């Protein structure tokens, strides 16, 4: 059936209360990285109620819902894990109740990105109820452990052929919050640590030791001064670097530390590489003797599958003239009768694998605003949820 914007809008209005109720349910289920099983079971139930053709898990624990068996292969990607709640006392409401007030849903994961997850499922329900069919296979991947190491779980699934419906994908859509913009790129990221070593001594006799914290100080200053000289890209903007955590090893509060570790967040613009960024930081170490390395992620999934990945994630950009961007823009304009906004993300997503590593044409489109992610004011509006549901339902037929 050809997309009918008015009909899609009316059906979306009918389904919106159910979408909101479902979203509140999954917000109420805490799902930090590595502990996603309960929320996935709730999503699985909703996928089956929505009439998806296939619903299944892979060995890592990612969940999939599939509609259709056509020749055009379309993958929707959304993560179900969230960051934690380390400052619960700063919230004005319980972050796990899914508070619903004045057409806004609040709580941990509302924007990042359970709002999109709920909209994916109900976009699929719209497809089923309105018979928005076409020559396409649409697989929705509800992935784990993205917050801790983006690209890892979906990367394992793609490389091993675990995504049901195809081993190769023509188009990928990421549902990360975009304020309903069509996103076609993001900077990359490499996570590093630098370690300096000294000699322990009693705190009353600092001259008898070699303070590892003092050894780290020139490197910290060098990192701060590096930012203005980092390269820039016309679309993605500048690379950036920040010292984000510092720890030391010491026998007591009265002892000179003999080891200091600094964590470094380096954002990569186009043309930069993780090894190049590591060498750049190593070049700042000078007499500090700091050893610099790229971090490795190594954690078990909730299903007991060991997930490992080097924390080196490339930047990616899809050309504005690519058919996926053009069809997304056409879909948006037909549904909402105004121009779309095409932009970039400043944060990192699973696109570092789908486009950055695998070279799969990838865009982003999601409900919620980036500024609310990971904050005590996390929220998503009903207006955004309705629009995302409609967009997710209408796009596959446009691409087929």
Q: What does the DSSP assignment read for 146-196?
A: TTTSTTHHHHHHHHTT-STT-SS-SEEEE-S--TTPEEEEE-EEEEEEEEE
**Which position among 81, 148, 170, 350 bears the catalytic label?**
81
- DSSP one-letter code for 293: E
What pLDDT does 89 receive? Answer: 74
pLDDT of residue 1: 60
Cα(226)–Cα(363) distance, rounded to whole angstroms? 31
Residues of the chain with pLDDT under 70: 1, 88
Question: pTM of this prediction?
Answer: 0.94
- Residue 88's pLDDT is what? 66
Q: Which residues contact 212 (CB under 8 A, 6 or more apart)?
A: 196, 197, 198, 248, 249, 257, 258, 259, 260
Q: What is the pLDDT, as a whole number, of residue 41? A: 98
Domain covering 5-186+315-399: architecture:
3-Layer(aba) Sandwich (3.40)
280 Cα distance to chain centroid:
26
| Residues 6+ positions from 179 with CB-CB distance below 8 Å | 368, 369, 370, 384
Q: CA angle, 104 as apex, 103 and 107 as ends, to 5°?
A: 150
Give residue 3's pLDDT. 79
CATH number, domain 188-300:
3.30.70.360
81 among known catalytic residues: yes
Q: Assign 47 to helix, strand or coil.
A: helix
Question: What whole-number distance in Å separates Cα of residue 144 and Cα of residue 34?
Answer: 7
Span(s) in the chain for CATH 3.40.630.10: 5-186+315-399
- Count other C-beta atoms under 10 Å from residue 129's C-beta: 15
- Residues 258-271 have pLDDT tens digits of 999 999 999 999 99
CA–CA separation, 130 and 127 (whole Å): 5
Of the residues 58, 146, 258, 382, which is catalytic?
146
∠ at Cα 8 (395, 116), nearest 5°?
Answer: 55
Which positions ≥6 away from 36 have C-beta within 8 Å? 61, 80, 81, 144, 145, 302
Using left for φ > 0, alpha for ψ between -120 and 50, and beta otherwise, residue 304 falls in left
**Where does the chain hold its CATH 3.30.70.360 domain(s)?**
188-300
pLDDT of 288: 85
């Amino acid at each position: 059936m050809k997309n009918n914007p008015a009909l899609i809008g009316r059906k979306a209005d009918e389904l919106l209360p159910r979408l909101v109720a479902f979203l509140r349910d999954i917000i109420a289920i805490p799902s930090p990285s590595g502990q996603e099983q309960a929320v996935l079971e709730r999503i699985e139930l909703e996928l089956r109620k929505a009439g998806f053709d296939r619903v299944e898990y892979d060995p890592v624990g990612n969940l999939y819902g599939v509609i259709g068996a056509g020749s055009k292969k379309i993958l929707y990607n959304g993560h179900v894990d969230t960051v934690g709640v380390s400052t619960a006392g700063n919230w004005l409401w319980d972050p796990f109740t899914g508070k619903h007030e004045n057409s806004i849903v609040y709580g941990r994961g509302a924007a990042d990105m359970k709002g999109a997850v709920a909209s994916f499922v109900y976009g699929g329900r719209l497809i089923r109820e309105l018979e928005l069919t076409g020559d396409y296979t649409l697989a929705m991947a509800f992935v784990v452990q993205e917050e801790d190491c983006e690209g890892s779980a979906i990367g394992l699934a793609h490389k091993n052929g675990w995504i049901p419906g195809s081993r190769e994908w023509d188009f990928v859509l990421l549902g990360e919050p975009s304020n309903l913009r069509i996103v076609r790129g993001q900077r990359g990221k490499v996570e590093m640590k630098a370690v300096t070593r000294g000699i322990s001594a009693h705190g009353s006799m600092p001259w008898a030791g070699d303070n590892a914290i003092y050894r780290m100080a020139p490197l910290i200053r060098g990192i701060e001064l590096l930012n203005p000289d980092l390269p820039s890209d016309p679309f993605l903007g500048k690379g950036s670097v920040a010292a984000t955590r510092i720890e030391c090893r010491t026998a007591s509060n009265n002892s000179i530390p003999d080891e200091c570790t600094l964590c470094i967040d380096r954002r990569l613009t186009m043309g930069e590489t993780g090894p190049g960024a590591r060498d750049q930081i190593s070049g700042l170490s000078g007499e500090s003797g700091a050893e610099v390395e790229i971090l490795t992620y190594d954690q078990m999934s909730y299903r007991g599958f060991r997930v490992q990945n080097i924390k080196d994630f490339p930047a990616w950009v899809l050309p504005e003239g690519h058919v996926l961007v053009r069809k997304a823009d056409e879909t948006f304009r037909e549904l909402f009768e105004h121009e779309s906004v095409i932009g970039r993300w400043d944060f990192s997503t699973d696109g570092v694998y789908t486009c950055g590593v695998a070279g799969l044409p990838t865009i982003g489109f999601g409900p919620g605003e980036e500024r609310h992610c990971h904050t005590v004011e996390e929220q998503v509006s009903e207006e955004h949820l309705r629009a995302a549901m409609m967009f997710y339902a209408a796009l596959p037929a446009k691409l087929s």
